[in-house]
Amino acid sequence: MPKNINVLFLAAEAEPFVKVGGLGDVASALPRALRNLPADVRGDSVLDVRLVLPHHGVVKADARPLAMFPLEREGRDVMVQVSETTLGGMPVYLLSGGPITSVGSVYSSNPAIDAEKYSFFSLAALELPRVLNWNVDVIHAHDWHTALAVYAMLLKRWTGATNGVASVLTLHNLPYMGADVTDILASYNLPVAQTDLPDWAHALPLPLGIFSADAVVAVSPTYAEEILTPEFGCGLEDFIHRRREVLHGIINGIDARAFDPATDPAIPHQFTAENPAIREKNKTALQEKLNLPVDPVTPMIAMVGRMDVQKGVDLALNVLEKITDIPWQFVLLGTGDPALEEAARKLQMEYPGRVRAELRFDGALARHIYAAADMLLMPSRYEPCGLAQMIAMRYGCLPIVHATGGLKDTVTDEVGFVFKSATPRSLRTALVKALSVYPDRGHWRALQQTAMRKDFSWAKPAREYFELYQTLLDKKES
Ligand code: GLC
C-alpha cells in the first residue's frame, strides 16, 4: 500500500505570487521539490504537498474562490475566504478576511499590525485541512509569521484534536520573532501556556513555535549550531539548547532549472561550465549597460540583495573605499536601509569610474550581474543560509564570504574565498587575495568550473525534509 504523506506549507510569501526575500524562494521551490521527489527516494510514498499564503493586496495570482469559513474572535465569527490557484500542479490556497485586506503589503513597519494579520492567518490556515476535508499529516510552518499555527496545534493536541499530525517549523531568521501576542491569543480564546521560555519571550510567536514544534529546522547545519551560542542565539540559546534533540539543520537549495546560465533568457550570452570564457561578453554588455569603462581585465565585484546591516553592506563599502592601489569595479544591486543606500551613493560619487549603486529590485539585472561579475561579496554578519552565493557559483561568479551559517556550509577555498570574522580587516584580506588570484586566468577558470559544477539543487535538501517527515510520522504511529 502506498503511504500518502499530506503536508501543508504555511508561509508569508512565495514566488511568483509575492516575494520580498529568500523565504519567498524557499516556500515556492521546496514544496514542489518534495512533490517531485523521484521514486527511488520516496519509495511507495506519495507526497501531496500544498501551500497556503495570505492573500495580501500585492499578491499576483489568477485565483478562484473555493470556500468560506468562520473563525471565532471575541465571541464573533470573522469570515475567512479561501481562493485556490496552482503552481506547477501544486494547489496553492490564498486566505483573506479579517486583518488580511486587499490593501495590505507583506510586511508593514508596524509590528502590531503584522502581529494581528499573521496570528489570524496562522489560526485560519490551521483550520484549512478540515474545511477542505483533506487529512493533513504534517503542518510545516516558516518563520515567526506562521509559528503560531504550530503553537495552536500543540494546544489542540492537548484536547486530542490534532493527534497524529506532526509539526515542523523552519527557521529562516531567528532574530525576527514577532510582537507580544498575549491579547491577540486571548481574543481567539487561546491561553499563553506555561513554558520554559525566558520571560521576555514567553508570548512571542517564534519562541512559542519553537517550544511547540515536533521538529525545528534551521536552514543550514552551521546555523543550527550557531543558534545554540550567545552570539547568534538572540537570548534563546539556553532554551533552544534544551530542545536540541528536535533541532535539525537542512541547507536550502536553489531552483537549478530556473537558475541555469545555459538557458537563462535574462542574460545576453548563455554559457556552461565547458565554455566559461563566454562570460566575458556578458561583462562587456554589463559595463556598457551601466556606463562603466569597458575593460575585460578589470575585476568586477558585485553585491546583490537586501541592503541590511545583517548583510554587512557597510563593511563592504568601507573596505572597497580604501583599496585604491588595485583596479576594480563594483556593482551593487538592491534596496533597503536608507543609511546604507546613502553610503552606497556616496561611494559612487567618490569613484564614478568604478562604482555603480543600482538601488532597486531588478531580478533580470541580478541574473546579468551573476553571469558577468567576477566576484560576489557576502560579508554577512550572520546568514542562516543565503541563496545569492549559490546562484553566483552556478553562474561562475566566485563568492567572497564570511564563514557563518549557510555561507560556511556552501563555500570552500575550491570555489571561492572565505574569511573568519565579519570585520573590515578580515574582509579586506580575503578581497585582496581574490584580486591577486584573479590575474592568473588558468587558476581562476579552474575555480569557476568547480563552482559551476557543484550541485546546489533541491534534490538533497528535499530528501532530508522527506526523511524528517517520515521519522516524525513513524513516531506518531508507534
Ligand atoms: C532569510 C535568511 C537567509 C536565507 C533565507 C531563506 O532571508 O536571512 O539567510 O537564505 O531566509 O531561508
Q: What is the pLDDT of residues 324-341, one digit of tens each?
A: 999 999 999 999 999 999
Determine if ligand 1 sits within 6 Å of the CB of residue 305.
no
Q: Is the distance from the beta carbon of residue 28 to the nearest atom of ligand 1 less than 6 Å?
A: no
Position 155 confidence tier, pLDDT thresholds 50, 70, 90: very high
Among the listed ranges 50-59, 159-168, 200-209, 394-403, which one has the minimum average pLDDT value? Answer: 159-168
| Amino acid identity at 418 | V
φ/ψ of residue 444, rounded to 5: -60, -45
Residue 265's SS3 state is coil
Mean pLDDT of the chain: 96
Is the CB–ligand 1 distance for residue 378 below 6 Å?
no
pLDDT at 441 exceeding the cut of 90: yes
- Separation of CA 158 and ligand 1 centre (Å): 33
Q: Rounded to whole angstroms, how far apart are CA atoms 168 and 150? A: 8
Q: Is 391 in the pocket of ligand 1 (CB under 6 A)?
A: no
pLDDT in tens, 114-139: 999 999 999 999 999 999 999 999 99
Q: What is the pLDDT of residues 228-239, one digit of tens each?
A: 999 999 999 999
Which amino acid is located at 102 in the chain?
Answer: S
Residue 383's pLDDT band (cuts 50, 70, 90) = very high
Cβ of residue 22 lying under 6 Å from some atom of ligand 1: yes
Q: Where in the chain is the domain with CATH 3.40.50.2000?
A: 4-253+459-477, 276-452
For atom 12 of ligand 1, the residue with the nearest CA is 172
CA atoms in the 13 A half-sphere facing the CB of 16: 9
3-state secondary structure of 133: coil
CA of 304 to the centre of ligand 1 (A): 14
91 lines ligand 1 (CB under 6 A): no
Find out whether the beta carbon of 424 lies less than 6 Å from any atom of ligand 1.
Answer: no
Q: Best of 9, 20, 23 to mutate for ligand 1, by most ligand atoms within 8 A of CB?
A: 23
Using the mean position of ligand 1's atoms as its centre, give its distance from the Cα of residue 118 in Å.
19
- The pLDDT of 428-451, averaged and rounded, is 97
CATH architecture for the domain at 276-452: 3-Layer(aba) Sandwich (3.40)
What pLDDT is stored for residue 3 in this prediction? 85
Residue that has been written with the C-alpha cell 541574473 in this structure: 367
Q: Strand order in 329-333's β-sheet?
A: 355-358, 329-333, 300-304, 375-378, 398-402, 417-419
pLDDT-derived band at 204, boundaries 50, 70, 90: very high
- Which ligand 1 atom sits nearest the alpha carbon of residue 306? 7
Q: How far is the CA of 252 from the centre of ligand 1 (A)?
A: 9
Q: How far apart are CA 92 and CA 84, in angstroms?
A: 6
- How far does CA 7 lie from the centroid of its chain? 19
* C-alpha of residue 213 to centroid of ligand 1, in Å: 20
- Cα 25 to ligand 1 centroid, rounded to whole Å: 9
CATH 3.40.50.2000 fits 4-253+459-477, yes or no: yes
Across 379-405, average pLDDT: 98
Percentages helix, strand, coil for the chain (3-state, rounded to 5) are 40, 20, 40
Taking the C-alpha atoms of residue 134 and residue 60, their distance in angstroms, rounded to an integer, is 26
Q: Is residue 399 within 8 Å of 374, Cβ to Cβ?
A: no
pTM over 0.85: yes
Please give the average per-residue pLDDT across 241-253, as a whole number: 98
3-state secondary structure of 347: helix
Nearest CA to ligand 1 atom 10: 386
Residue 30 CA to ligand 1 centre (angstroms): 13
DSSP H stretches of helix in 313-386: 313-322, 338-350, 363-372
Predicted local confidence at residue 274, as pLDDT: 96
**8 A C-beta contact, residue 55 and residue 81:** yes
Residue 248, all three cell numbers: 535539525
CA of 291 to the centre of ligand 1 (A): 32
Tell me the pLDDT band of 2, cut-offs 50, 70 and 90.
Answer: low
Which atom of ligand 1 lies nearest, measured to the CA of 406? Answer: 9
349 Cα to the center of ligand 1, angstroms: 31
pLDDT of residue 162: 87
Looking from the CA of residue 383, the nearest atom of ligand 1 is 9
Residue 1 has pLDDT above 70, yes or no: no
